[in-house]
Structure 1
Amino acid sequence: MKLKQLKKNVIEALSEIYPSEEIHTFFFILSEKYLNLSRIETTLEAEQKINPRVLQKFETALRRLKNHEPIQYIVGGTEFYGLPFKVNEHTLIPRPETEELVEWIIEGAVSENKPDYRILDIGTGSGCIAVSLAKALPQASVFAMDVSLKALEMAKENARLNEVSVQFFQEDILKTGTLPQQYDVIVSNPPYVRELEKLKMKNNVLNFEPPSALYVSNADPLVFYRTISRLALRYLKPHGKLYFEINEYLSNELMKSLKKEGYPHIDLKKDFRGKDRMLQCRKK
C-alpha cells in the first residue's frame, strides 16, 4: 500500500466520528510517529510504499481512535510550550491554555530577576509546568509535587527528556500541613471540574484521562484552592506570588475566597478563548 492510499483509508475510517481537520491532524501525527515524516513530507512522499509492520501500527491506532482514545496517549507524547512531553493514562494531557499560565509566570520571574528564585508546582502531573519553567528559567530552582507516584515517574522522565533539573516529591496536598521551604512562586493547576460539568465533556476526556486529576465534588469545588492558598500564606516569601489555573465558572467565587483568606491583590486573566482561566495573587 502507498502512503496516499493509507491517508485515504484513515480519512474514510474516521469520517463519521471526527471532523475532517482533526482527522488530518491525526494522520500527520501518526505519520510523524511511525514513518518519521513531517506534514509536508507526507505530500512529497505520497507514492512511498508502506511496509506491513507500519500498516499494523496504523490499524491499531485507528481502532483506538474509534474508541475515542486521545491521540496523545496512542503515540505516547505531545508538545507543550515548544517542548516534547511523554504522557500516559496516569497524567493529564497538557492543554494550550496552561501554556499561557507558564508564560505569565516566566514574564514575572524575568522582570524580577532575583537570585535564589524558587518555584513550587503543586499537582505536577506530567511535569509540563515545572519542566517548562525550569527550561525557560535556568537560574531558578524548581520543585514539584504530586500525590500520584505513577505521575511523578512520568514527570521525572520528562525532566530527563528535556535536560532540566526539577526536584520532585510525593505529597497529598489535602493532607499535608507543611511545605519543605519558602518559595517566590507557588503554582497549581489543580482538579477543578465539578461533577455536574461532566455532561459537557467529550468521551476522550471522560473515559481516558485520570479522574483524580480532573474532578472535584459539587459540594466543595474550591477545596484545592483553599488548601493551597492557606499553605502559600505561610510558605511564600515576602512579595511572593501564587498562580492558579481555574474553572471559568468559578472565578468570582474563587476571588472572593482568596480575598477572605488574605490575598487582597488578585489579577484575573482570560485565556486565548476569552474564558477566565488563570489568576495571580499576592498576600498582604
Structure 2
Amino acid sequence: MLLKEIKDIFHTELGAIYPKEEIDSFFYSCIEHYLNLERFILAIQPGYTLNKDEEQPLFEALSELKLEKPLQYILGTAHFMDLELRVDENVLIPRPETEELVQWILLDAERPPARRVGSRMVIERSRNDHSLRILDIGTGSGCIAIALAKHLPDAKIYALDVSEGALSVAKENAASNGVDVTFLHQDILNPEINLEFDVIVSNPPYVRELEKNEIQRNVKDFEPDTALFVSDEDPLLFYRAILGFAENHLSENGKLYFEINQYLAEETKALFNTRNFSEIELRKDMFGNYRMLKAIMQ
C-alpha cells in the first residue's frame, strides 16, 4: 500500500477525534518510530510503498489511537527536555510544565545562595563547590531526577516512589540515559529515610476528584490514577506530608520545589506560612497558570 494512502486512512479514522495537525503529528511520529522514515519522505517520494509487514504496526497504532490511548504509551517513549524516556501505564507521561520546574531548579543551582546576617545578605559559596543532595519525591518515569542528574553531574540524586512498577521504568530510564540515581521504594506518607537533602522536589498527585470532568479521556482512562488524583476532602494531603518530611530532612537554607494544582495555589502557599519556610514564591507556567511553588528552609 502507498504510504500516502495510509496517511489518508489516519485522517479518515481519527478526524472526528483529533485536529488535523495532531493527526499529522501522530502519523509522522509513527513512521519515524516504526520505519525510521523522515517526515519529508512523501514530499520527495510521493509513491513510497510499504509491504504488509511494514504496514502492520502503523495500523495497530491507529487502532489504539482510535481508543484515545496516548501516543507515548503506544510507542513506549516520551521526550522530556533533552531526554528520551520509556513510558508505560505505570507512570505519568512527562509534561512541558514539569520541564519548567526542572529549569527553575537548574537556574537556582547556578546561583550562589544568600543568607541574612544581621541587616546584610551574605552570599555563600556556590553549592556547585560540593555535591548537592537532591530528592525527587514521586519520581514516576524518573524524568525530574534524570534531567537533574544529567545537568548537575556532581550532584547526588535520590528518587522515591511508592510504585514498584514506576521504579522499574525509572531505573531503566536512568540506565539508558547514562546517569546515576539512587532509587528508593518508599511511601512518602510513611517514610523511613535517614538522610538530609539540599533540595527536595515533587510533582505529587493533586487533581481533585471533582476536576475529573475537566480531564481529557486519554489522560484519565490511561494514566495511573494514583499519580494523578486526590480526594476532594483532603486535596493537599501529599503537600502536608512532604512539608513535614522536609522540616526534618531539608538542610538549613535548603530549597523545596513543587508542581501544584493551579486552582489551589493560594491554599498550597498558605501551608508554608504555618511552617518554618521563607521566600515562598508562586510561579506561572507557560500557559499563565500558577503551577509551581518554591520555598526556602529557615
Q: TM-score, normalised by structure 2?
A: 0.93
Q: Check if 1:116 corresponds to 2:131.
A: yes
Q: CA offsets per residue over residues 197-241 of structure 1, 9 Å max, x none?
A: 001111101110000000000000001001001111111111110
Q: Which moved more, 1:256-265 or 1:75-84?
A: 256-265
Q: What's the RMSD between the two structures over aligned residues?
A: 1.1
Q: Distance in 2 between matches of 1:72 and 1:45?
A: 27
* Number of positions where the alignment pairs a residue of Structure 1 with one of Structure 2: 283
Q: Which residue of 1 aligns with 2:165?
A: 150
CA distance in 1, matches of 2:204, 2:42: 39
Which residue of the other structure, out of 136, 148, 154, is the alignment partner of 1:133?
A: 148
- Within 2, Cα distance between the matches of 1:164 and 1:46? 42
**2:259 matched residue in structure 1:** 245
Partner Cα distance (1:105, 1:262) in 2:
20
Of the structure 1 ranges 9-18 and 163-172, higher mean CA displacement relative to structure 2 is found in: 9-18
Q: Which residue of 2 aligns with 1:44?
A: 44
Q: Distance in 1 between matches of 2:38 and 2:144?
A: 27
Q: Is the 8 A contact 2:42 2:48 kept in 1?
A: no
* Residue of structure 2 in register with 1:90 after alignment: 90
Q: Does structure 1 residue 70 correspond to structure 2 residue 70?
A: yes
Q: Does 1:199 align with 2:199?
A: no
State percent identity of aligned pairs: 48
SS at match of 2:111: helix
CA distance in 2, matches of 1:60, 1:103: 36
| Inter-partner Cα distance in structure 2 for 1:45 and 1:147 | 49
Contact 1:81 1:132 (C-alpha < 8 Å) held by counterparts:
yes
Q: Deviations over 1:117-155 (max 9, x none)?
A: 110000000000000000011111100010000000000
Cα shift at 1:12: 1.2
SS in structure 2 at match of 1:111 = coil
State the one-letter code of the partner of 2:293.
Answer: L
Match of 1:271 among 285, 290, 295: 285
Q: Return the TM-score normalized by structure 1.
A: 0.97
Partner of 2:178: 163
Q: Hey, what's the Cα distance between the residues in 2 that align with 1:46 and 1:106?
A: 45
Structure 1: stretches of 5+ with no match in the other structure: none
Contact 1:3–1:45 (CA under 8 A) maintained in structure 2? no
- Asked whether the equivalents of residues 31 and 38 of structure 1 are also in contact (C-alpha less than 8 Å), the reply is yes
4+ residue runs over 6 A deviation: none
Displacement after TM superposition at 1:180 (Å): 3.2
Q: Partner letter of residue 159 of structure 1?
A: A
* Residue 282 (str. 1) matches residue 291 (str. 2): no
Structure having the higher Rg: 2
